[in-house]
Amino acid sequence: MHKYAIGVVGASGYSGIELCRVLAAHPGVEVRFVASDRWEGATVRARTGIAGAVGGLSYVPHARVLKAAQDCVAVFLATPAEASMELAPALLERGVKVVDLSGAFRLSDPAAYPEHYGFEHRAAGLLAGAVYGLPELVDRDAIASARLVANPGCYPTAAALALVPLLRAGLLTDESIVVDAASGVSGAGRQASETYSFCEVADDVRPYKVLRHQHTPEIAQSLSRGARKPVRLTFTPHLLPIKRGILSTASVRLAPGIGAGAPAEALRAAYRDEPLVEVLDGPEQVSIARTVGTPRAAVAVSTTDSGFDPGRVIVVSSIDNLLKGAASQAVQNLNLMLGLPERTALEPAPGVSP
């Protein structure tokens, strides 16, 4: 198999490490460089234990990324949104395809960035052409032909996989959608602070960024595209005392005249030919343990037409926030962009770190 030259920027973060781990076993790519200011000069193997050719690479500083990428076909940006906003245009100008794992290019409206990300978007001209890379729900041909793919966030991936098939089928009322989701601590990134220290996190579960999480507009955008009209959304994230994984619970209501079995039928129809999304018989079967360490999502729905709240629909989904919510989904997108089989290097499951 021909090997495509690629690079990974932000390779010392959790998502960047997972990218390196997946790519180390990818038969269709050659990782030419990995970039990290924090680990400059150290080898990938010394820092992560990853073996092979990728393990032998030494981290280069971010200041050398453009030079290092000059012979690359594509580069992953596992960087903060503001860093991606600066690097992506420079790479694209050099003819390098970009898969960006940050939120820098996920939102179509540049006016949303100051409120939700805290900065004015200085590359707003790229937003219209950035393709949102959730392969099971978007046009794969658009991903394949893209120069810039905005890799979805972890919470938005879990919510969209659960709800978009129901919205597309017109099964739900216009009532506000409520999504409660819980994530492992790695969802906050690799950082040292009192909030995420062991003694603060262990044996506790708590909400955070209530009514102000930066993924809220991304979830609303995905759901509105599925519904083909604006949706109302309340999203509440929670922090779990575990390393990784997301469990998302969505509460919606059936439209008048829709049978109780329609949501389950819609999920099965949407994912019948999608091997990386598993539709289970009931929400009680969905768990973080089922998907952690894998590139797969699990989803299930329950509907009642009697009892305390007739017409209520509960959709539960789970993913690994560092894989289907970040690195493995990014590799899915890269595979499509390079014309490779979509699941290359993703099955069997790549394993976990941390």
Looking at this protein, which amino acid is placed at residue 315? Answer: V
Cβ atoms 201, 183 nearer than 8 A: no
- Return the residue matching tokens 């690195």: 327
Catalytic residue among 20, 72, 154, 199: 154
Give the angle subtended at the CA of 172 by the CAs of 167 and 178, to the nearest 5°.
85
Q: For a pLDDT cut of 70, what percent of the chain falls above it? A: 98
Exposure string for 49-62, b = 16+ CB within 10 A, e = fewer: ebeeebbebebbeb
Please state, in angstroms and rounded to a whole number, the distance separating the CA atoms of residues 14 and 190.
6
Looking at this protein, which amino acid is placed at residue 172? Answer: L
* Contacts of residue 224, Cβ cutoff 8 Å, sequence gap at least 6: 230, 231
Q: Indicate whether 108 pLDDT > 80.
A: yes
Q: Work out the burial of residue 286: count CB atoms within 10 Å of its CB; fewer than 13 is exposed, 13-18 middle, 19 or more buried.
A: buried
Exposure string for 124-162, b = 16+ CB within 10 A, e = fewer: eebbeebbbbbbbbbeeeebbebbbbbbbbbbbbbbbbb
Class (C level, CATH) for 155-319: alpha beta
Beta strand 312-319 pairing with 206-207: unpaired
334 or 352, which is more confident? Answer: 334
Q: Indicate whether 119 pLDDT > 90.
A: yes
Please state, in angstroms and rounded to a whole number, the distance separating the CA atoms of residues 325 and 162.
14
In tens, the pLDDT along 221-263 reads: 999 999 999 999 999 999 999 999 999 999 999 999 999 999 9
Please say if 154 is a catalytic residue: yes
Residue-range domain boundaries for the chain: 4-151+326-338, 155-319
Return the SS3 of 200: helix
Q: What is the pLDDT of residue 136?
A: 98
In the β-sheet with 246-253, what is the strand arrangement from edge to edge? 206-207, 233-239, 177-183, 246-253, 312-319, 297-303, 277-279
Q: What is the pLDDT of residue 39?
A: 97
Peptide bond into 348 cis (omega under 30): yes
Give the angle subtended at the CA of 3 by the CAs of 339 and 132, to the nearest 5°.
40
CA atoms within 13 A on the CB side of 175: 15
Binning pLDDT at 50, 70 and 90, where does residue 353 land?
low
Give the angle subtended at the CA of 130 by the CAs of 181 and 124, to the nearest 5°.
100
In tens, the pLDDT along 166-225 reads: 999 999 999 999 999 999 999 988 776 788 888 889 999 999 999 999 999 999 999 999
Give whole-number Cα distances, 182 to 39, 256, 280, 287, 340, in Å.
Answer: 30, 31, 20, 11, 33
What is the CATH code of the structural domain delimited by 4-151+326-338? 3.40.50.720
